[in-house]
Chains A and B, each alone.
Chain A
């Protein structure tokens, strides 16, 4: 569904994404994790077409919509207007489906987006992206600044989307435990390159990944329902 081949993105002389290749299948949920400055947001912006590619290709069989870092609301406009603008590229003015999936949005549809809480704004951002009827939803920092309960609710919505509508999800996330919990497969980035990739359960148990990027975080212990194998094999 999404195929990235040898992608390079530069900001002047600085290389932000350095020869990355990977694929995402239809309905698949894939996490992009890594330390600050690893190139995760640049990669997702390049996939969404917001950042020019230096070289390589991004091929997607379908529409891509992004939930950006920091929500990026149209603050002075109503929730409903924010949603309607999400369908700009396909002239989609039917918000009914989004309200069905995220009923809270229907209740706050007349409120100014800038006056909502962080969690509510994130829900608007997800709903706005869904208005484009995407085949791939690229999410940059789902949990940033949100309470755990709100994050859990949003994560459940993503699972429903993937399961029931076949929407692929590419999740950039600082909270590694959350990313591994939501997405069965993950890619670990460092300095613009993929340094590890594979099933999240295996990555969570990888000593190299844990020590190099997550310090002493007991990722595996915080994952719910994940059973780690005795030995791990992480593709690089």
Chain B
């Protein structure tokens, strides 16, 4: 029982970071119809930057915030590359994001090398239902909850967020009322960078990151986004949590090396089950 609780909580923490990365996919896809495959590498930049900044340059809190903001800038630059030129088809933009991901990975190797890096996180642990749980993992869950609540408030309450939602809902009508849909797309890329960076900053203390982490992160994040139909941040959160828990249970009771395969398998199952819904959403 204790073992199960530990796996569940660490799964929820890991799944939270998948959900953050996945919601970045959703935010960009809703507005631009582009799948941004550079999301994973941006998360790694977040984790590694926070490790550098927290190594005597900035105190806790400021270091993490600065790393997340930097990821927002990186996301914006990727957006400029992907959709900066007017009329770029989404498929071409997708390929540009793949290229950007490789560039970012090269930069990661150049700046931080190939070894995994882990910034200092919250030390210590607490006991929940008999299971020892790292405080850092609880921080990931709480911070993800706050991030999703802030995201929901941003989209539903702020004028800018409503502009983003309108651009996603009906780009023609958005242009008609004077919204610059391309700028909204760039804003979405920046926001996705912040979400990816936050995921990296939160996950890195418990799961050291290297450029090799890109594929598992991007696959898991994309699988969570697919669960949300690439349109719903809330369903993406749920999908991320399912993936995280399934991955941790697989690692705990079967074999740790099957985690990525589990994400892939779940993504395939979800895509097959939800294929009709995807078509309907595209038509809509």
Interface on A for B, CB 8 Å cutoff? 48, 50, 66, 68, 72-77, 81, 84-86, 88-89, 91, 93, 128, 132
Contact = CB atoms under 8 A, between A and B. Distances in A.
A72 B176 contact: yes
B162 A84 contact: yes
Contact of B170 (A73, A88, A132): A73
A86 B177 contact: yes
Given A84-B159, A93-B159, A74 B176 contact: no
A105 B159 CA distance: 20
Given A74-B169, A81-B162, A88-B163, A50 B178 contact: no
B95 interface: no
A76 B176 contact: no
Given A68-B173, A72-B173, A74-B170, A89 B178 contact: yes
Contacts of A73: 170, 173
B172 A128 contact: no
Given A68-B173, A74-B170, A91-B159, 9 more contacts: A50-B172, A50-B175, A68-B172, A72-B172, A74-B165, A75-B170, A85-B166, A89-B178, A128-B177
A76 B166 CA distance: 9
20 contacts: A50-B172, A50-B175, A68-B172, A72-B172, A74-B170, A74-B173, A77-B162, A77-B165, A84-B162, A85-B162, A85-B163, A85-B174, A86-B177, A88-B163, A88-B177, A88-B178, A89-B178, A91-B159, A93-B159, A132-B178
Given A84-B159, A93-B159, A50 B166 contact: no
A86 B177 CA distance: 5
A73 B162 CA distance: 13
Contacts of A128: 177
B65 interface: no
Interface in B133-175: 159, 162-163, 165-166, 169-170, 172-175
Given A73-B170, A75-B169, A77-B169, A68 B162 contact: no
Contacts of A81: 162, 166
Nearest to A125: B173
A132 B178 CA distance: 9
